[in-house]
Amino acid sequence: MEERALSDGIVVLSPPTEADIDTITACCQHPSIGEWVTIPVPYRREHAEAFVEDLVGPGWAHRSPTWALRPDKDGPVIGMIGLEAQDASSAEVGYWLLPERRSRGLMSRALRLVCEFGFDPETLGLQRITWRAFVGNRASAAVAARNGFRYEGMMRLGSVQRGVRRDSWVAGRLATDDGLPVTDWPI
């Protein structure tokens, strides 16, 4: 699949490049990102290099696109969002955003763009996008709920972070869902 940038006029999503490695490294020093994301801690430049070189490019080739969230076309990385293919018709979404950029609706906008891209028959043509987060990550849950993801439950020890199993929440959005905010999440 050919790499593609996305934008709604407020946020810009574009594939991260080698030029972003130092910024990604700096972003991933924030404790709140390491708390909720399955990144190495401590996060070093070599981890960002491997992410960009070994995951981003090959991911696009294998229906697992990753985008850097930027405040404008030439702006720095302030977050990351991507889809990881589960099979030909489903993917799991993951994302993080710098703490100082949160509570502005930026990740909600980014997730909306990524869902549109994922469900579009001209791009990935997905039938389902799964969201999963460690229990307690209410900010991530709020973003998913605002984008029409329906809470499906809690998986006991359902995810692994740095070798430790943790409980996780799971939700899903189908291509046939309207994408409107869902207000009945029990968390």
What does the pLDDT look like over 70-84, one tens digit per residue?
A: 999 999 999 999 999
* Unique residue bearing structure tokens 């992410």: 51
Q: 88 by DSSP, 3-state: which?
A: coil
Euclidean distance between CA atoms 42 and 33, whole angstroms: 11
Domain 6-174 has CATH 3.90.550.10: no
Euclidean distance between CA atoms 72 and 30, whole angstroms: 22
What does the pLDDT look like over 38-89, one tens digit per residue?
A: 999 999 999 999 999 999 999 999 999 999 999 999 999 999 999 999 999 9
pTM for the full model? 0.95
Enumerate the domain spans of the chain: 6-174
Sign, CA torsion 174/180/185/187: positive
The rounded percent of the chain whose pLDDT value lies above 70 is: 100
Euclidean distance between CA atoms 131 and 140, whole angstroms: 9
What six digits make up the tokens of 33? Answer: 């990102």
Euclidean distance between CA atoms 13 and 112, whole angstroms: 11
